[in-house]
């Protein structure tokens, strides 16, 4: 698939691209003369992916190309990989673009941007994919005869972490409760399993139990509780005032953070 000149101010390559678009160049492939700098993926934040919803993290970069070549004929297609080499990752376990575009006014460098396309059921087939991914790009120069003149894989463009999405629930009982009586606050910590395609218990994860009094905009941490092997949370507190109880925890090296909705308790 080749990007052509669009009618607007950008050159756009669209669609969930086939792996062959980024195939590693042959031994005879020549340096394109294209350079890519200032690559930023997902605004510098980790990419958090669940079990079913398609995720389309954005990216931006700047590119230059050889003089005498028009921008539509200088093409850059970023991708992510975490294998040994970009060529191997490109063929197995890569994350590819759904669109990419560059300002087409002839000036250099050009500011470019687009989106990756991550459909968890098909893109991520192992929970080990929750790791640091490397950023690379396929670069191509096309001739006026629509024949490929040169191509190469540009590496060392940065890294981005891909994380398993997590969830946590909260339930405080009894409701209502007499002031000074004991409240039991339960919860369940789960995270995306990219093999089973469902959320499973996040055993051993520690979460903060927080309280926000009615009329206040601030949550205060009451205690930290470790989930059991199935991801269940449970603790007790003394009821002191009307308000909301929630569980929250931060991201780990493999899993995103999560915060439950506040469960309101009426204290009488």
Residue 240 has pLDDT above 60, yes or no: yes
pLDDT value at 36 more than 90: yes
Q: Is residue 1 part of a domain?
A: no
Whether residues 42 and 172 share a domain: the answer is no
Strand partners, 173: 184
Q: How many CB atoms lie within 10 A of CB 2?
A: 12
114, 130: one domain: yes
The verdict on 203 and 182 lying in the same domain is yes
Residues 10-24 have a mean pLDDT of 34
Q: Do 154 and 261 share a structural domain?
A: no
Q: What value does the CA radius of gyration of the chain take, rounded to a whole number of Å? A: 25
Domain with 151, as residue range(s), is 10-163
| The pair of three-digit structure tokens given for residue 1, joined into one six-digit string | 């698939």
Query: Are 148 and 172 part of one and the same domain?
Result: no
- 144 pLDDT band, cuts 50/70/90, is confident
> Could you report the per-residue pLDDT of 167-210, keeping only the tens digit for each?
999 999 999 999 999 999 999 999 999 999 999 999 999 999 99
* Domain end marker among 163, 189, 209: 163
Tens digit of each residue's pLDDT (9 = 90 or more) over 200-221: 999 999 999 999 999 999 999 9
Q: Are 235 and 226 in contact (CB under 8 A)?
A: no
Could you tell me the pLDDT band of residue 15, with boundaries at 50, 70 and 90?
Answer: very low
What is the rounded CA–CA span in Å between residue 90 and residue 104?
Answer: 28
Task: Look over the chain and give the mean of its residue pLDDT values, rounded to a whole number.
Answer: 87
Residues whose CB is less than 8 angstroms from the CB of residue 101 and which lie 6 or more positions away in sequence, other chains included: 6, 10, 11, 12, 13, 112, 113, 114
Q: How many domains does the chain have?
A: 2
CATH for 125: 2.60.40
Using alpha carbons, list the distances in angstroms from residue 31 to 35, 109, 140: 10, 18, 9
pLDDT at 93: 59
The answer to the question of residue 134 being in a domain is: yes
DSSP 63-107: EE--TT--GGGEEEEEEEE-SSSHHHHHHSS-BEEEEEEEE-SS-
Band (pLDDT 50/70/90 cuts) for residue 103 is: confident
Per-residue confidence at 105, pLDDT binned at 50, 70, 90? confident
CB 97 within 8 A of CB 116: yes
Residues 6 or more apart in contact with residue 22 via CB below 8 angstroms: 77, 79, 90, 94, 96, 138, 153
Mean pLDDT calculated for residue range 233-258: 98
The confidence band for 84, taking pLDDT boundaries of 50, 70 and 90, is low
Q: For the purposes of burial, counting CB atoms within 10 Å of the CB of 173, is it exposed (0-12), middle (13-18) or buried (19 or more)?
A: exposed
Answer yes or no: do 113 and 226 share one domain: no
Tell me the pLDDT band of 94, cut-offs 50, 70 and 90.
Answer: confident
Question: Which tokens sit at 19?
Answer: 């792996």
Question: Do the Cβ atoms of 10 and 103 come closer than 8 Å?
Answer: yes
Domain presence at residue 3: no
Q: Are both 120 and 170 inside the same structural domain?
A: no
The domain boundary residue, chosen from 144, 163, 182: 163
Q: Is residue 5 situated within a structural domain? A: no
Is residue 9 pLDDT above 50, yes or no?
no
Do 159 and 223 share a structural domain? no
**CATH number of 197's domain:** 2.60.40.730
DSSP readout, 163-209? Answer: EE-EEE--EEESSSB-TTSEEEEEEEEEEEETTTTEEEE-TT-EEEE
Pairing relationship of beta strands 232-238 and 263-265 according to DSSP bridges: unpaired
Percent of the chain beyond pLDDT 90? 78
**Residue where a domain stops, chosen among 146, 163, 180:** 163
User: Rounded to an integer, what distance in angstroms lies between the CA atom of residue 12 and that of residue 99?
Assistant: 6
């Amino acid at each position: 698939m080749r990007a052509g000149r669009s009618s607007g101010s950008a050159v756009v390559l669209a669609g969930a691209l086939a792996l062959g678009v980024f195939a590693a160049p042959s031994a005879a492939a020549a340096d394109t003369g294209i350079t890519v700098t200032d690559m930023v993926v997902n605004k510098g934040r980790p990419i958090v992916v669940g079990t079913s919803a398609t995720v389309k993290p954005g990216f931006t970069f700047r590119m230059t190309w050889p003089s005498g070549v028009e921008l539509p004929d200088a093409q850059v297609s970023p991708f992510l990989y975490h294998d040994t080499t970009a060529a191997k990752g490109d063929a197995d376990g890569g994350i590819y673009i759904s669109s990419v575009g560059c300002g087409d006014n002839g000036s250099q460098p050009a500011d470019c941007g687009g989106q990756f396309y991550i459909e968890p059921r098909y893109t991520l087939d192992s929970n080990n994919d929750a790791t640091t991914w490397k950023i690379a790009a396929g670069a191509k120069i096309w001739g006026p005869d629509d024949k490929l003149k040169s191509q190469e894989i540009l590496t060392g463009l940065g890294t981005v972490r891909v994380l398993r999405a997590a969830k946590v629930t909260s339930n405080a009982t009894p409701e209502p409760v007499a002031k000074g009586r004991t409240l039991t606050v339960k919860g369940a910590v789960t995270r995306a399993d990219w093999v089973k395609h469902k959320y499973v218990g996040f055993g051993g994860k520690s979460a903060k139990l927080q309280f926000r009094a009615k009329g206040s905009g601030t949550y205060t941490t009451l205690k930290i509780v470790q989930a059991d092997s199935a991801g269940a949370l449970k603790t007790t507190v003394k009821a002191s005032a009307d308000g909301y109880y929630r569980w929250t925890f931060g991201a780990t090296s493999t899993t995103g953070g999560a915060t439950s909705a506040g469960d309101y308790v009426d204290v009488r």
